[in-house]
Structure 1
Amino acid sequence: MSESNKEPANKSAEEQTEETEAKQKTDARPQKSGGNAPRMLVGLLIGVGILGGSAYAAWHFWKTRPEARQFKPPRKPLKVEFAELKQVDFPVVIPSQGRVKSRAVSGIVPEVAGRIVRVAHAFREGGFFKQDEALLWLDDRNYRIAIKEANATVRQLQVKLRLEQINRASYANAVALAKANLSKAEAALELEKARQSAAIANLRRLNALTQSSPLARNEPQIKEANATVQSAMAELTKAQADLEQRPDQMEADLRAQIDAAKARLARTLTDLERTVVRAPSFPGRIADKTADVGQHVTPSTTLARAIAVDYAEVRLPVPSSLVGHLDSPDPIIDAGGNSSQPSGTKTRVDINATIGGREHGWTGEIERTEARVNQSSQQNFVIARVPNPYGRSPALKDGQFVRARIHGRPIKNVFIIPRRAVRRGDFVLMIDEEKRLRRWRLISLWRDEQTVIARQVEGEDGQVRDLKEDEVLCLTNVDFAANGDKVDDGTSPPQKKSPKGP
């Protein structure tokens, strides 16, 4: 502080000291009684003035003090690791997990009642069977007897039908004979009429018609011929009625009885075939059984439970945010219920399981998706199909817990950012051509435990730009890094560098 600045403060202090001493001398003089109060007030004011002056002097000295020089040591460039970005197609792999289940579970139930007399070697817990293979045999003696009885009934009814057909033929012959007799009677009537005409003509020529007898005029013969015709017509009508009514009804009844008997025979033959209990219409395995030789079973008895072994299914959860990376196997259904099949692209699934302390793998594909989304977790479920789960050892058994890696559609033309280079808030540090750090926030398209996938970054001012080939990414975790900090990557500046930050 300069001397000119100090003088006013020093003079003020000296003047205050002289005033204080003069005051003290004045106070020492004898005063009249009753003048103590004004003297005390003056002393108090003088004390306050001294304190105020001292405080002002101290404040003035502090305010006008010279600033101390600060020493800033030069900052060395930070040594960092770096990587140059390359544009690639990123293969999307969605991790999931689930339990294996058979694609079909079926109960083995007999269709007829009977006693089990024999079982196949495959009919045991854990036994494998082929499609429609015979597994059990029931006692079939009653069914064979029923078949013989049904055959006898059919033959008996067929004999009756043949007899009725013969009777019908006889009635037809009677109709034909009646028609022949009628034709013969009508011909005889016509002949008698001709004779009568000739006789009358001859009598007229002889002028003896009036005196002639009925016999001469051939009238009795005409009457007899008419009677014969009427009798023949009556016989024909009766024969036709007999042919149309009675035989036809009986034949229809017999044919209906024969049809019913044949149906009973066919059902009995089917029941005989059903005494052999067969496997379902898929290759499978017996999961458990509840029947064996000697047991009497009914059509409602479940003898065993079988599971399919041609392929297995795994129900896998997939977050809704990742479903868009999968090729949907489901058809597209319009409002009219018409469907169009999706493209032939199949989504591959790698299945892994730890069995006996060792890792084993299988390959499958997504077959379909479930109809509903889980309301609590908002996850979709896809069904993976694994063919031939028992084709090698160890087998992929029903109920086995597995891990899955679902291969979705690759993300085209992106940059893979190592997870260790990503800071909180998805910020990364890029190195520009001057080897200075620039902060950018990733606009991520995909992330997992190892990587973050992006095409663009956003600056601190909100500006968005595309990432480019050979931009330099800082891999070292630099605490409290700021835009513009100098770095040392141990190399000369690359030809292509990240642009400066905002």
Structure 2
Amino acid sequence: MPHLRPSLIAACLLAPLLLAACNEKQQDKAAGAPAVKPEVSVMALHPTSVAITATLPGRTAASLIAEVRPQVGGIIRQRNFQEGGTVKQGEVLYEIDPATYQAAYDSAEAALAKAEGAIPSAQAKVDRYKGLSQRDAVSQQDLDTAQAALVQAQADVASAKAALESARINLDYTHIRAPIGGRVGASTVTVGALVTADQTTALTTIRQIDPINVDVIQSSVNLLKLRRSIDEGRLKTTGANVQVRLTLEDGSQYKETGRIEFLDAVVQETTGTVRVRAEFPNPDQLLLPGVYVRATIQEGVRPNSFLVPQRAVTRNAKGEATAKFVGGNGKVEERVLKVDRSVGNSWLVSEGIKDDERVVVEGAQRVRAGQEVTATPVIVNDATGELEQAQDGAAAAPDKQASAPAAASAPTVASK
């Protein structure tokens, strides 16, 4: 069929042209359609007051310690306390056999009675000689001798009283009393043991643990930074009664709040640290001396600070903290932030943010700077780091930001 060949050739030549025309029309139609904006989740940032704290390791220590030692020698006749129990100040802990000290007391008491018995006779003699001396019946020398004998008798009475008091003290020392109240430790002696006055080995030790002390170590460098921040006005101190909270060995929080007792005046040369002592109520005696704890010390409050969720912050090639923001025109802007420290699941940012700016917390990887986006307002739960839908289409308010309380109970920053 030779007459069909020119038609087939013409059809083959026109087919590519028709396909090209169709593709061009589809591209023109697609170019005229509006572009789809990528969606991101944003959170509005507002300034808030942040409590600056330092979490430091430490150990508990008794507020008072007394080693009980005998002040007289003898045989222990009785022990009147339960080891590991609680004793009150002045309570009798041990009794030493008082026989010899009772005898010494009785002897001193008799010597006093004898000395006091000589005074009436000496006084009567002086009175008699004074009357006779006025009539020149006795010499002045005899009167002086009688007066000297009276003074001697009075001195003997005073000496006997002192000896009696000394004997009474030694007799009282046979009852070894608790110098302070607190928890008493194990006894180093048993009934029948011989003890000596002022021996080096303590009979037992009493520790007062209510209140109880916590000794923590603070770096001298951190103290310098803290004072510099206060001097520059970037940090406001919370006053003299600085509060301290404790985290126990098992991770639980101690229910009582302590206060700073003192800051040591000496920096340890070998470690470059300063000792800080806090005092805590311990009514239930839950804390015992020597327990390892972590103390969170409230150092001050930083006003007008911004908390940025950690999920919104990344690092660039230079290691700088960056975050993406959505401006009022709906376009993305990438910015370098000055991050100070972490606060829960957020970063404390000191520079690079203004009030009511919107930071991208989800979808930042899908957009680039200058790109127009659709922003959905959310809030971030700082305790879990999870996103929550903002109510009424509004972004996080200051009291919702990072689940932080208001300025009266500012978010807490733990500085390591």
For the criterion TM > 0.5, the same-fold answer is: yes
Task: Compute the TM-score of the two structures, normalised by the length of structure 2.
Answer: 0.70
Match in the other structure for 2:135: 177
1:386 pairs with one of 267, 280, 304: 280
Q: How far apart are the structure 2 equivalents of 1:112 and 1:343?
A: 52
The Cα shift of 1:488 comes to 3.9
Asked if 1 retains the 8 angstrom alpha-carbon contact of 2:38 and 2:367, the reply is no
Q: Which has the higher mean CA deviation after the structures are superposed, 425-434 or 480-489?
A: 480-489
1:368 Cα deviation (Å)?
Answer: 1.8
Written as runs of structure 1 = structure 2, the 5 A alignment for 1:71-150 is 79-122=39-82, 124=83, 126-150=84-108
1:479 shift after superposition: 5.8
Q: Is 2:321 the counterpart of 1:426?
A: yes
Superposed CA deviations along residues 146-192 of structure 1, whole A, max 9, x for unmatched, are 111111111212222322222212211211222xxxxxxxxxxxxxx
Shift of 1:259: 1.4
Identify which of 349, 358, 361 aligns with 1:475: 361
- 1:389–1:396 Cα contact (<8 Å) kept: no
1:224-303 to 2 correspondence within 5 Å?
A: 239-243=139-143, 245-281=144-180, 283-301=181-199, 302-303=202-203
**Shift of residue 103, structure 1, vs aligned partner:** 1.5
1:86: how far off?
1.6
The residue number in structure 2 matching 1:359 is 252
**CA positional deviation for 1:94:** 2.6
Match of 1:314 in 2: 214
Amino acid at match of 2:266: R
CA offset at residue 370 of structure 1? 2.2
Unaligned runs of 5+ in 1: 1-72, 179-234, 328-341, 458-466, 497-502
Contact 1:389 1:397 (8 Å CA) reproduced: no
Does structure 1 retain, via aligned residues, the 8 Å contact 2:105–2:164? yes
Cα drift, residue 114 of structure 1: 1.5
Q: Trace 1:47-62 onto structure 2 (pairs within 5 A).
A: none
| Amino acid paired to 1:426 | A
SS in 2 for 1:413: strand
Q: Distance in 1 between matches of 2:253 and 2:340?
A: 32
**Partner of 2:197: helix, strand, or coil?**
coil
Change (3 A) 1:349 1:112: same
- For residue 76 of structure 1, report the CA deviation from its aligned partner: 7.4
Q: Which amino acid aligns with 1:241?
A: Q
Higher relative contact order (Cα pairs below 8 Å, separated by 6+ residues): 2
Q: Offset at 1:415? A: 1.4
Q: Which has the higher strand share?
A: 2
Residue 22 of structure 1 is matched in structure 2 by: none
1:342-491 matches, cutoff 5 A: 345-354=240-249, 359=252, 361-363=254-256, 364-375=258-269, 377-388=271-282, 390-391=284-285, 395-424=286-315, 425-444=320-339, 446-448=341-343, 450-457=345-352, 467-476=353-362, 478=364, 483-490=369-376
The residue identity in structure 1 corresponding to 2:345 is: Q
Structure 2 distance, partners of 1:343, 1:268, is 57
Q: Distance in 1 between matches of 2:206 and 2:173?
A: 18
Residues 123 and 150 of structure 2 are in contact (CA less than 8 Å); yes or no, is this contact kept in structure 1? yes
> What amino acid sits opposite 2:361 in the alignment?
L
Matched length: 332
2:110 aligns to what? Answer: 152
TM-score, normalisation: structure 1:
0.59
Q: Percent identity?
A: 23
**Distance verdict in 2 for CA 1:319–1:485, change over 3 Å:** farther
| 1:136 and 1:278 in contact (8 A); partners too | yes
Q: Is the 8 A contact 1:354 1:360 kept in 2?
A: no
- TM-aligned CA distance change 1:264 to 1:350, over 3 Å: same
| Kept after mapping to 1: 8 A contact 2:185/2:205 | yes
Question: Quick one: which amino acid aligns to residue 160 of structure 2?
Answer: A
Gaps of 5+ in 2: 1-30, 228-236, 378-392, 396-416
Q: 3-state DSSP class of the match of 1:350?
A: strand
Relative to structure 1, is the Cα distance of residues 277 and 483 closer, same or farther in structure 2, using a 3 angstrom cutoff? Answer: same
Supply the distance in 2 between the matched residues of 1:324 and 1:80 (Cα, whole angstroms): 42
Larger of the two Rg values belongs to structure: 1
CA contact (8 A) 2:66 2:206 kept: yes
SS in 2 for 1:434: coil
1:21 is matched with: none
How far the C-alpha of 1:446 sits from its partner, in A, is: 4.5
